[in-house]
Structure 1
Amino acid sequence: MYLCNFNYHSMTKSISGFSRLSKSKKIDWIVDTYFTNNKNAKKIIKQYWNTDEQLQSLHDEFIENTITNYYLPLGVAPNFLINGTLHTIPMAIEESSVVAAASKAAKFWLDRGGFKADVISTTKIGQVHFKYFGNKEKLISFFNELKPALFKETENITQNMVKRGGGIKDIELKDKTHKIEGYFQLHATFETLDAMGANFINSCLEQFSKTLKEKAQNYVAFDEEEKDIDVIMSILSNYVPECLVKAEVSCPISELAEGTDIDPYEFADKFVQAVQIAEVEPYRAVTHNKGVMNGIDAVVLATGNDFRAIEACVHAYASRNGSYSSLTHASVENDQFKFWIEIPLALGTVGGLTSLHPLVKLSLELLHKPTAQDLMKIVAVAGLAQNFAALRSLTTTGIQKGHMKMHLKNILNQFQATEEEKTKLLEQFKDQVVTHSAVVEAIEKLRS
């Protein structure tokens, strides 16, 4: 009986040539097929169009089959002192309390020397995956002769990058036959400077693939069957464990608990223990690292970078030792508290959306037009700050007190509270625990 309200028409109706329809025709089909109140659906879709037609056209062309824009709030967290330079960091995120927590952490460390950050390395990786079932020694000899040709035949792709100091760093032959029969790789490392470099790397890899197959056909030591190298795919890797940045903060333990009623030494001990738990307990580590990524993803989005690639890489890195673990670490030595993060971040400040999206360009200008290495430092700091704020709350007042205070406005908006109701209820919950049920009860009482 629960199925009778399903609209099977909308569940089964398909369409051919959708991509060739105009935007208005796409919207007509969407609202007529999937919405009972199609006038309201169309109104909502059009409500988020930009009134500047040129700007809207730009947005329409970022992806395919665009029907509208999906907005995220863009906030800023001021007072980040990083390597002696003061930053206000842009953050695009929908979750309440994230920007506030980052700002609070930034202000706390502003008076304690700020954040220190260093880029350890910037190497990125790409691979040509192929099958070869012949004599391995022949393949090794072939690769040694092939390697100079791989560099030479990509010169038309790499010349501009090389002029700026980047390019292909090295190419290795890797034997993976212990995992899959006949499986080998050309494993290449790259330096892409201020570009994230995906298109550059993939173009090089596709040329490697072409050169590999062509040279194999003419390699005299190969038997006829050995010449038919089967390239499966050529693609960059978003796992970049050698594209690393480190950020840290430190201060005397006596300064650590300012603004709380807890003993600073007790606080330092609990804080370090909380990090240690995340280092050994995957269930805790996932939530711990999610907090880190609250800060990182928000800045990555605001600066037009690929947060999915960053997420995939970071979580693989957190599992690199065989068990998922904390991205941050803490210690207490010689009466000094130290908190740090070492994290892989492949970011770009040129190319892609960085030169197209007006808010991305604005965000990068806000950050003093950073190089890719500068942005790596800023993003790592944002993640560290976010994690510090979360752990500080968890080990003192508890996470819900601050989070639910910020969430209070969302609950009030959900119930369409008037400005007068908001003023009264914000005052009422100033010294009360905020829960969803308590807010609902207060709204109903006020309205009755």
Structure 2
Amino acid sequence: MHKPVSGFSKMSKQEKIDWLARNYFSNNSEAMNILMQYWNSDAKLQRLHDDFTENAVSNYYLPFGIAPNFLINDKLYTLPMVIEESSVVAAASNAAKFWLNRGGFHAEVLSTEKNGQVHLDYFGDKQLLIDFFEAIKPRLFEAVSEIEKNMKKRGGGLKDIELIDSSGSLKGYYQLHCSFNTKDAMGANFINSCLEAIATTFEEESLGFEPFLKNTESPKVVLSILSNYVPECLVKAWVSCPVSALLKNATNAEVFAQDFVRAVDIANAEVRRAVTHNKGIMNGVDAVVVATGNDFRAVEAGVHAYAAKNGAYRSLTHATIENDEFTFSIEIPLALGTVGGLTSLHPMVKFALQLLHKPSAEELMKIVAVAGLAQNFAAIRSLVTTGIQKGHMKMHLMNILNQLEATSEEKEKAVRHFVKNTVSHSAAVEFIEKLRA
């Protein structure tokens, strides 16, 4: 077992790799080759990747897939999707094709407000804190005037500051709830810089507030940070068509629509189903979020919190049949950006945004919501008809064949064979072994 390492971050890239190979791998050269074969041949581009994170020793590749034929608000899009799950891009593409001649997808941004909080401890007279906040509120706005100068030019900035009493859930706990509009930027750094300036000003002003001094009790800033829960930054997407237009056979179409609505109702009623149901939605959402250089962890956290906003975790999508019209919709919070961060640095992110017609943040919100809705439609469609595994395993076949190191000829024969045969790992192994025998 190796000893703890000191000064690892100060080592050169090659020294870090040598240390890893020496301490964790019996075959040093093989370990080094694995890491180095994923380096970019363009040294300048590789240095850019190295600067994205601490202690970078190589690159980790994910497939950059394309899902065409997305008609969104009467405009045709091709969606970039970065994901390793084999069936996701195929499912999104199938859903896009299905709705292409049925009116396409529709989407609208409902609100774009983001938020952050200065979290406070205060155990004194509540009215004194209210009086102090009202007196210094203008100073808090002044504290961010330099930080928000450029953001204000674009129509964004700090919108409001509220004092919220949260002492009912935690004794002595109050917050300064700050709302922001960050326009086309995701705005994390901007929001956090504003919050820290507000926190510093709040604390400094409190030290000279005489009523606090008299009562020997003044507020203390515990921390200040943006929130990834953005229920006021909402987007809605939907599809709709007559029930009879869902399938060629009217009777089958009616049964399909009813089963589809029932499947969504089940996800709304049962948490175990809801989690898997929403995970499928996030297959589509995350794939586009990653491709466009946005923070999929923040999106995941905020979306799942939103799914439980009423006290129980529920489906993010809704399906109805009214007056013989089938409607399927989603409403999710998305804090996204199309400027700043990786959007101007990562070549593939720039490519993805170009592919999407250089969208604004609001346009990207619509596209991402549609990706989630499409993914969910494809999944439910499979579940209530052929079952999820038939299509999934067909896509998974290539992973199995690659594990078996199948040749191009073997892969071609296997794909033809499994068009009419059930895919499983054992079946694929047996087929390849017979070929080789």
TM bucket, shorter chain: over 0.9
Match of 1:338 among 327, 340, 349: 327
CA deviation map 1:259-291 (0-9, x unaligned): x99700000000000000000100000000010
Say yes or no: does 1:286 pair with 2:286: no
Stretch moving more, 270-279 or 248-257: 248-257
The alpha carbon displacement at 1:423 in A equals 1.3
SS in 2 for 1:424: helix
- Distance in 2 between residues matched to 1:356 and 1:332, nearest whole Å: 46
Partner in structure 2 of residue 368 of structure 1: 357
- Distance in 2 between residues matched to 1:280 and 1:242, nearest whole Å: 25
| Aligned residues of 1:217 and 1:227 also touching (Cα < 8 A) | no
CA deviation map 1:294-342 (0-9, x unaligned): 0000000000000000000000000111111000000001111000000
Match of 2:404 among 401, 404, 415: 415
CA deviation map 1:158-192 (0-9, x unaligned): 12111211111111001111122211100011000
**Which residue identity lines up with residue 400 of structure 2 in the other structure?**
I
Say yes or no: does 1:358 pair with 2:347: yes
Say yes or no: does 1:117 pair with 2:107: yes
Change in Cα spacing, 1:226 to 1:339, as seen in structure 2 (3 Å) is: farther
Match of 1:313 among 298, 302, 314: 302
Match of 1:29 among 15, 19, 28: 19
| Aligned residues of 2:212 and 2:218 also touching (Cα < 8 A) | no
Identity rate, percent: 64
CA deviation map 1:22-45 (0-9, x unaligned): 000000001100011111110000
- Distance in 2 between residues matched to 1:14 and 1:119, nearest whole Å: 51
- Distance in 2 between residues matched to 1:301 and 1:262, nearest whole Å: 41
Partner in structure 1 of residue 91 of structure 2: 101
**Which residue identity lines up with residue 358 of structure 2 in the other structure?**
K
Say yes or no: does 1:446 pair with 2:427: no
| Aligned residues of 1:195 and 1:372 also touching (Cα < 8 A) | yes
Stretch moving more, 147-156 or 266-275: 147-156
| Aligned residues of 2:124 and 2:218 also touching (Cα < 8 A) | no
**Which residue identity lines up with residue 426 of structure 1 in the other structure?**
V
SS in 2 for 1:430: coil
Say yes or no: does 1:144 pair with 2:134: yes
Partner in structure 1 of residue 155 of structure 2: 165
Partner in structure 2 of residue 4 of structure 1: none
Match of 1:387 among 376, 399, 404: 376
Aligned residue-pair number? 437
Partner in structure 2 of residue 5 of structure 1: none
| Aligned residues of 1:79 and 1:110 also touching (Cα < 8 A) | yes
TM-score, length-normalised on structure 1?
0.96
| Aligned residues of 2:165 and 2:174 also touching (Cα < 8 A) | yes
Q: Structure 2: which 5+ runs fail to align?
A: none
| Aligned residues of 1:304 and 1:353 also touching (Cα < 8 A) | yes
| Aligned residues of 1:126 and 1:187 also touching (Cα < 8 A) | yes
SS in 2 for 1:343: strand
TM-score, length-normalised on structure 2?
0.98
Change in Cα spacing, 1:373 to 1:177, as seen in structure 2 (3 Å) is: same
Cα RMSD between the aligned structures?
A: 1.2
* 4+ aligned runs moved over 6 Å, structure 1: none
SS in 2 for 1:365: helix
Match of 1:132 among 122, 126, 137: 122
- Distance in 2 between residues matched to 1:33 and 1:213, nearest whole Å: 49
- Distance in 2 between residues matched to 1:230 and 1:314, nearest whole Å: 31
- Distance in 1 between residues matched to 2:181 and 2:49, nearest whole Å: 30
**Which residue identity lines up with residue 225 of structure 2 in the other structure?**
I
The alpha carbon displacement at 1:228 in A equals 3.9
The alpha carbon displacement at 1:441 in A equals 1.5
| Aligned residues of 2:244 and 2:250 also touching (Cα < 8 A) | no
Change in Cα spacing, 1:225 to 1:14, as seen in structure 2 (3 Å) is: farther
SS in 2 for 1:239: coil
- Distance in 2 between residues matched to 1:56 and 1:342, nearest whole Å: 39
- Distance in 2 between residues matched to 1:302 and 1:420, nearest whole Å: 32
The alpha carbon displacement at 1:226 in A equals 4.5
SS in 1 for 2:124: coil
Partner in structure 2 of residue 207 of structure 1: 197
**Which residue identity lines up with residue 75 of structure 2 in the other structure?**
T
| Aligned residues of 1:219 and 1:227 also touching (Cα < 8 A) | no
Partner in structure 2 of residue 238 of structure 1: 228
